[in-house]
Amino acid sequence: MLHFKTASYSDSEIQNGLFKPGIMKKLFIVIFLIAGAVAHAQQNAMFSQYMFNKLVINPAYAGSREVLTFDLLNRYQWVGIEGAPRTLTFSGHAPLKNANMGLGFYAYSDVLGPSSDQGFMGTYAYRIKMNYGTLAFGLHAGFSHIDIDWNKLDMDDPAVTLQGQGKTKFTPDASLGVFYSTNRFYGGVSSTQLLQNEYGMTVNNGSSTYSKLMRHFFVMGGYAHPINESVIFRPSFLLKFVDNAPMQFELDANFLFKNTIWLGAAYRSKEALVLLTELNIGHNLRIGYSYDIWFNDLMTYNKGSHEIHIGFDINLMKGRMQNPRYF
């Protein structure tokens, strides 16, 4: 918990403009970021383009593209607010010559206000070929480094002080997943932050409380439906469950034109409308962009969220790559 101390103000101080809109705006944003920093350390980062980089959510996705795949994703959330979330991930995965196994990794950096979370995860997937598709079971295993530094907050207002202690340390982490896919359909279930490690302590009136990473559960699915020879319609969804928090969902509708460009939109849990696109350059390079329009309390203080995704495929095993790929 966080402990706020507020001073008393006289009528003259109020009349002299102590509570100007700019000061109140800053106070609101900082309090929002402080509360968010604690929740943020417990939560996995969000991605608007999860459908183009499923490995960070579900380890069973490793090797499913049948090529060596690298993905770089950079997310700038709530542009215009100092200390707003910034997330960077880099991942790679591929099937082995033994078609029943896939290997991969991903590294990430996630920053919000005074909190930062960096980590690295290795990935293993065991894949079972079935009559119409592939069923895979996957494991992420690695570590995370979490730090909360309250000194990074500068209120410029002696009336508000914060008490909190960050606990910087490396902790092990793991995720499990199941993923099934065909040429036209995919579905998956996964759970992240399985170990629920403690990461920090906050102080309230002399009492200490340790916070821990919350276990997440994800359900995802999607389907590719040909409208004609030039257009593919691909609806998809993502559900996220966390203890003591409302279920979050995202519904997406994307269209692929001439196997070259994706255009689509998504709706996220009463929070945001997402506009997104991805361009396929040849058979190897993919470049995506998304823009989030927010509906929450910060909508008047920010300029939306931007996300850039770059993917690159290397076909190491001739004859196994599917083209075009819808998932």
**Residue 219 above 90 pLDDT?**
yes
Q: Can you say how many angstroms the Cα of residue 321 is from the centroid of all Cα atoms in its chain?
A: 27
Q: Please, which pLDDT band fits residue 27 given cuts at 50, 70 and 90?
A: very low
In terms of pLDDT, which residue wins out, 175 or 171? 175
Over the stretch 53-74, which tens digit does the pLDDT of each residue have? 899 999 999 999 989 999 999 9
Domains of the chain: 3-7+14-314 (2.40.160.40)
Mean pLDDT within 264-279: 92
**Residue 128 above 60 pLDDT?**
yes
Lowest mean pLDDT among 222-226, 238-242, 301-305: 301-305
Confidence at residue 153, expressed as pLDDT on a 0 to 100 scale:
57
In terms of pLDDT, which residue wins out, 25 or 282? 282
Q: Please, which pLDDT band fits residue 5 given cuts at 50, 70 and 90?
A: very low
Task: Report d(CA 115, CA 112) in Å as an integer.
Answer: 5
Q: Can you say how many angstroms the Cα of residue 279 is from the centroid of all Cα atoms in its chain?
A: 21
DSSP 175-196: EEEEEEE-SSEEEEEEEE-TT-
Task: Report d(CA 287, CA 238) in Å as an integer.
Answer: 22
Please state, for a pLDDT cut of 90, what percent of the chain lies above it: 48
In terms of pLDDT, which residue wins out, 288 or 321? 288
Q: Could you give the C-alpha distances from 129 to 30, 138, 224, 327, in angstroms and in order?
A: 51, 15, 20, 17
Supply the pTM of this predicted model.
0.81
Measured from the Cβ of residue 64, the count of other Cβ atoms closer than 10 Å reads 26
- Half-sphere exposure (CA, 13 Å, Cβ side) for 260? 4
Confidence at residue 25, expressed as pLDDT on a 0 to 100 scale:
46
Lowest mean pLDDT among 68-77, 149-158, 208-217: 149-158
Say if CB 71 and CB 311 are below 8 A apart. Answer: yes
Lowest mean pLDDT among 143-152, 180-189, 309-318: 143-152
**Residue 260 above 80 pLDDT?**
yes
DSSP 273-326: EEEEEEEEETTTEEEEEEEEEE-STTTTT---EEEEEEEEEE--STT---SS--
